[in-house]
């Protein structure tokens, strides 16, 4: 064995114990898996069994190897490395063999490759830590990496923004990509809005979609019944949503934590049910259709202009192209989202933003410092709701049709998931999480039934490896010693 | 004695059938340190919670007098007591904002002043008005306090990662940043070692001398209480059993029986 070559400080690996442990793990996996995955029923003139015992056995072998490798990673990293390479080779051979592979399914090959990769990383990591000064190097490398990431954050933001601006003109930006980009940006904006309430002020709001609905219906009803344009309705929709935020906030903001969450959840449902049942006003489940789209300086994006207007392509003197409308909508939502971002970043550095964060940290201490907790929470609620209202009115202008079905609880849950996964209070984190949570399920439509599994897997992986969210780091809003490296090093 | 800064009259606090404070009256002079001592459960923190508006007293009047007028604290909500009556407090279990930096903690304490300067955020977002100057003034004030408590170089660290003794001092500095006329300190020396207690004595004396702020002090550490107090109020089972100058209270038989113990050099024996 190559084990004897490692540094003398290492404890000798306890092979029998490791083997026993791995055997037990594999046996448990077998016992659990055989009933869950070992049989498959199918209908062929009566219910029949399909036996998948081989699948389960192969999975158990992979589990045995993986467990053995993980156990040995601290005492015998070389063995871990070897097992990992073996697993990777096996997976590669299986992929190369294609249909005639010894692996019963592609899924198992993928699992095997994943296990091999994990073992190689663990083994390599432990080995690097072993060799003289390796641990030190890793530690320094780690802190240098986090330091570099911290420095890169502002540039990353600027880079993403630049990319977002030029994206519609890049060759790959077809209609599908643009649609997806608009969808993602809408969720980014909603995430940024909710970030004020949840991330900064620490108020768990499970009914955020209600304000989105208020904004959407405000625009839809005013524009269809009174003929006001998108740009006039936008501020009205924001104000209406903020008004509803205050309306909800007054009675409930003295509640804390779970209780507040339940009340906001109820509020979200109340709004949806009112929209569904107040048929005279909202047309109920039929929804509001024929909503006018947004115009650019009064020029609609359409093939033929309504009376008294010229369409965008006539005005510009170019040929009609359906993509123009998408590109225009894209820039509208980009601008709205960037306004949200700008206002949030600005507010964070103002006393009200610091008071929000202080409230999140300790409400009683805030009160002792003369901060009015109710008013401070109300501002957070109202401002968050206002941005949801803007986003809602954009949504109505883009879809041209809205119904209560668009504002169900799962929307609130997704927006909240974006904020939490992104890292509470982190603006960049919201962008990354929105791309992952909204973008991945769209890109992975080809995966068919595995699409939602990949969604769940992404969430689980983020929470396991980054429990504080993708970007959990918080920079102080103000520094006394701007070039102080000491505070960074600690 | 000049007119009292705070006059507590017939303060009674009942929780259901439990009488936590029973008809307690005392006064705190401006620019003086008034200590409230007594065994655990005597009702000392309840007195603080009544003064700072966390509890509404069952009976009694809490009158605070300063240049800004007279305030009846029992009628005011907690945040108004801090903002208008200018009463600041610290907590027995430290209540900093642990995730925020040391400097941010001190800026949050100056919230109301800064809020006004930022035009309730409207002008602040647009970047007009005198917010920049107000913020610089607030930072200067925070810097002054950080120097006094010896945390200047740690200004940008998270408050939660400071050592325990520094957190205690920071909480006092944060309370002082609200420009109080009365500072209520709930066991500021708890958990401090001898050197840190001595530093605390210095700090409290300088708050009395330099800032002319009246201090109400709850403390078990007799080395702190007996050294710096101008006046001591002793509570036991919610009642006031003695009151007076340190020397006078130290020799009071009722106090020795209830709290200090026969051997007054080991007051800790009385806590258990």
Residues A122, A249, single domain; the answer is no
Q: Is B108 on the interface with A (CB under 8 A)?
A: yes
Q: Is B101 on the interface with A (CB under 8 A)?
A: yes
| Residue A343 resides in a domain | yes
User: Mutate which of B104, B119, B146, B170 to disrupt the A interface (most A C-beta within 10 Å)?
Assistant: B104
Residues A221, A87, single domain; the answer is no
Q: Is the pLDDT of residue B2 over 90?
A: no
| Residue A157 resides in a domain | no
Residue A433 confidence (pLDDT): 85
Contacts of A418 (CB under 8 A, 6+ apart): A187, A188, A190, A191, A194, A430, A433, A434, A437, A438
pLDDT (tens digit per residue) in A89-121: 888 888 777 766 677 777 778 788 888 888 888
Closest CA to A343 of A196, A458, A228, A202: A196
- The CA distance from A347 to A379, in Å, is 11
Residues A77, A212, single domain; the answer is no
HEC per residue, A221-276 = HHHHHHCCCHHHHHHHHHHHHHHHHHHHHHHHCCCCHHHHHHHHHHHHHHHHHHHH
Output the CATH code of domain B1-86+181-272: 3.40.50.300
Contact B129, B118 (CB under 8 A): yes
> Which of A77, A109, A132 is where one domain is finished?
A132
For residue A353, the distance in angstroms to the closest alpha carbon of chain B comes to 9
pLDDT (tens digit per residue) in A68-89: 888 887 777 888 888 888 888 8
Residues A440, A378, single domain; the answer is yes
| Residue A398 resides in a domain | yes
Helix H or strand E encompassing B167? helix B164-176
Domain limits of chain B? 1-86+181-272, 96-178
User: Does B174 sit within 8 Å of A366, measured CB to CB?
Assistant: no
pLDDT band of B119, cuts 50, 70, 90: low
Beta strands B231-236 and B33-37 are parallel
In A331-411, the DSSP E strands lie at none
Contacts of B16 (CB under 8 A, 6+ apart): none
Residues A184, A122, single domain; the answer is no
3-class SS of residue B240: strand
Q: Is the pLDDT of residue A44 over 70?
A: yes
User: Does B91 sit within 8 Å of A351, measured CB to CB?
Assistant: no
Residue A305 confidence (pLDDT): 65
ipTM of the complex model: 0.86
Residues A60, A178, single domain; the answer is no
- The CA distance from A260 to A240, in Å, is 22
Contact B226, B38 (CB under 8 A): no
- The CA distance from A183 to A164, in Å, is 13
- The CA distance from A20 to A333, in Å, is 59
Which residue stretches of A98-133 are H helix?
Answer: 106-130
Quote the tokens at residue A255. 């509640």
Whole-number Cα distances in Å, A214 to A109, A237, A380, B7 = 49, 7, 17, 52
| Residue A162 resides in a domain | no
- The CA distance from A454 to A435, in Å, is 14
Contact A203, A380 (CB under 8 A): yes
User: Does B91 sit within 8 Å of A364, measured CB to CB?
Assistant: yes
> Which of A110, A132, A154 is where one domain is finished?
A132
For chain A, the domain total comes to 2
Residues A188, A96, single domain; the answer is no
Contact B32, B231 (CB under 8 A): yes
> Which of A105, A132, A159 is where one domain is finished?
A132
- The CA distance from A426 to A200, in Å, is 9
Among A35-39, A111-115, A219-223, B207-211, the least confident range: A35-39
Contact A325, A293 (CB under 8 A): yes
Mean pLDDT of the A11-35 span: 84
Residues A348, A256, single domain; the answer is yes
pLDDT (tens digit per residue) in B77-115: 888 888 888 889 999 888 999 989 999 999 998 888 888
Beta strands B59-66 and B69-72 are antiparallel
Q: Between B51 and A485, whose confidence is greater?
A: B51
Chain B residues with CB-CB distance to A485 below 8 A = none
Among A266-275, A355-364, A383-392, A435-444, the least confident range: A435-444
- Return the number of CB contacts < 8 Å for A and B: 131
- The CA distance from A464 to A232, in Å, is 46
For residue B202, the distance in angstroms to the closest alpha carbon of chain A comes to 24
Among B98, B115, B156, whose Cβ lies nearest the Cβ of A361?
B98
Quote the tokens at residue A179. 């649609």
User: Does B100 sit within 8 Å of A350, measured CB to CB?
Assistant: no
| Residue A161 resides in a domain | no
Domain containing residue A48: 2-132
For residue B139, the distance in angstroms to the closest alpha carbon of chain A comes to 8
User: Does B125 sit within 8 Å of A367, measured CB to CB?
Assistant: no
Q: Which residues of A188-207 are buried (b: 16+ CB within 10 A; e: fewer)?
A: bbbbbbbbbbbbbbbbbbbb
Based on its alpha-carbon atoms, the radius of gyration of chain B, rounded to whole angstroms, reads 19
């Amino acid at each position: 064995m190559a084990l004897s070559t490692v540094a003398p400080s290492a404890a000798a690996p306890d092979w029998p114990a490791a083997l026993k442990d791995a055997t037990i793990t594999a046996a448990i996996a077998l016992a659990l898996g055989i009933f869950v995955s070992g049989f498959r029923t199918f209908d062929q003139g009566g219910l029949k069994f399909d036996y998948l015992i081989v699948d389960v056995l192969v999975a158990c072998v992979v589990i045995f190897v993986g467990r053995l490798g993980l156990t040995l990673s601290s005492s015998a990293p070389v063995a871990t490395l070897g097992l990992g390479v073996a697993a990777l080779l096996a997976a590669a051979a299986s992929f190369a063999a294609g249909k005639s592979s010894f692996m019963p399914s592609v899924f198992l090959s993928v699992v095997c490759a994943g296990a091999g990769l994990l073992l190689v990383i663990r083994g390599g990591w432990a080995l690097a830590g072993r060799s003289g000064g390796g641990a030190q190097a890793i530690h320094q490398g780690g802190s240098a990496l986090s330091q570099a990431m911290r420095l890169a954050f502002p540039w990353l933001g600027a880079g993403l923004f630049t990319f977002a601006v030029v994206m519609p003109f890049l060759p790959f930006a077809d209609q599908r990509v643009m649609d997806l980009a608009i969808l993602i940006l809408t969720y980014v904006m909603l995430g940024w809005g909710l970030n004020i309430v949840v991330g900064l002020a620490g108020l768990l709001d499970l009914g955020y979609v209600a304000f989105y609905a208020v904004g959407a219906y405000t625009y839809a009803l005013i524009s269809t019944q009174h003929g006001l344009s998108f740009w006039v309705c936008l501020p009205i929709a924001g104000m209406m949503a903020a008004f509803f935020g205050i309306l909800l906030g007054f009675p409930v903001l003295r509640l804390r934590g779970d209780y507040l969450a339940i009340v906001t959840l109820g509020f979200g449902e109340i709004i949806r049910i009112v929209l569904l049942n107040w048929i005279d006003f909202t047309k109920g489940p039929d929804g509001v259709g024929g909503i006018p789209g947004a115009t650019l300086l009064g020029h609609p994006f359409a093939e033929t202009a309504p009376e008294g207007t010229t369409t965008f392509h006539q005005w510009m003197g170019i040929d009609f192209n359906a993509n123009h409308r998408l590109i225009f909508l894209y820039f509208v939502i980009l601008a709205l989202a960037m306004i949200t971002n700008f206002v949030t970043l600005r507010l964070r550095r103002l006393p009200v933003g610091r008071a929000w964060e202080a409230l999140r940290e300790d409400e009683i201490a805030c009160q002792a410092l003369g901060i009015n907790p109710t008013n401070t929470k109300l501002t957070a609620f109202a401002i968050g709701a206002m941005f949801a209202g803007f986003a809602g009115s954009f949504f109505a202008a883009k879809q041209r049709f809205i119904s209560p079905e668009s504002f169900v609880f799962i929307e609130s849950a997704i927006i909240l998931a974006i904020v939490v996964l992104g890292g509470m209070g982190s603006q960049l984190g919201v962008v990354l999480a929105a791309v992952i949570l909204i973008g991945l399920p769209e890109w992975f439509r080809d995966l068919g039934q595995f699409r939602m599994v990949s969604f769940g897997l992404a969430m689980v992986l983020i929470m396991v490896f980054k429990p504080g969210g993708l970007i959990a780091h918080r920079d102080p809003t103000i520094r006394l010693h701007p070039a102080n490296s000491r505070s960074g090093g600690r | 004695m000049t007119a009292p800064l705070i006059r507590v009259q017939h303060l009674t606090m009942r929780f259901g059938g439990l009488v936590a404070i029973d008809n307690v009256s005392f006064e705190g002079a401006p620019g003086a340190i008034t200590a409230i001592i007594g065994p655990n459960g005597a009702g000392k923190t309840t007195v603080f919670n009544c003064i700072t508006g966390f509890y509404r007293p069952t009976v009694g009047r809490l009158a605070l007098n300063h240049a800004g007028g007279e305030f009846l604290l029992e009628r005011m909500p907690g945040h108004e007591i801090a903002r208008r009556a200018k009463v600041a407090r610290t907590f027995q279990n430290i209540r900093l904002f642990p995730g925020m930096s040391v400097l941010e903690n001190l800026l949050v304490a100056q919230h109301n002043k800064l809020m006004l300067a930022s035009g309730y955020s409207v002008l602040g977002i647009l970047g007009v008005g005198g917010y920049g100057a107000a913020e610089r003034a607030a930072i200067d004030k925070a810097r002054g306090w950080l120097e006094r408590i010896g945390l200047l170089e740690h200004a940008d660290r998270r408050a939660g990662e400071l050592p325990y003794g520094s957190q205690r001092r920071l909480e006092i500095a944060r309370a002082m940043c609200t420009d109080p006329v009365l500072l209520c300190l709930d066991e500021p020396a708890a958990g401090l070692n001898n050197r840190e207690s001595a530093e605390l004595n210095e700090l409290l004396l300088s708050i009395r001398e330099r800032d002319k702020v009246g201090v109400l002090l709850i403390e078990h550490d007799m080395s702190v209480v007996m050294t710096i107090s101008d006046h001591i109020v002793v509570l036991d089972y919610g009642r006031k059993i003695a009151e007076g100058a340190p020397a006078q209270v130290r020799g009071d038989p009722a106090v020795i029986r209830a709290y200090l113990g026969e051997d007054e050099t080991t007051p800790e024996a009385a806590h258990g």
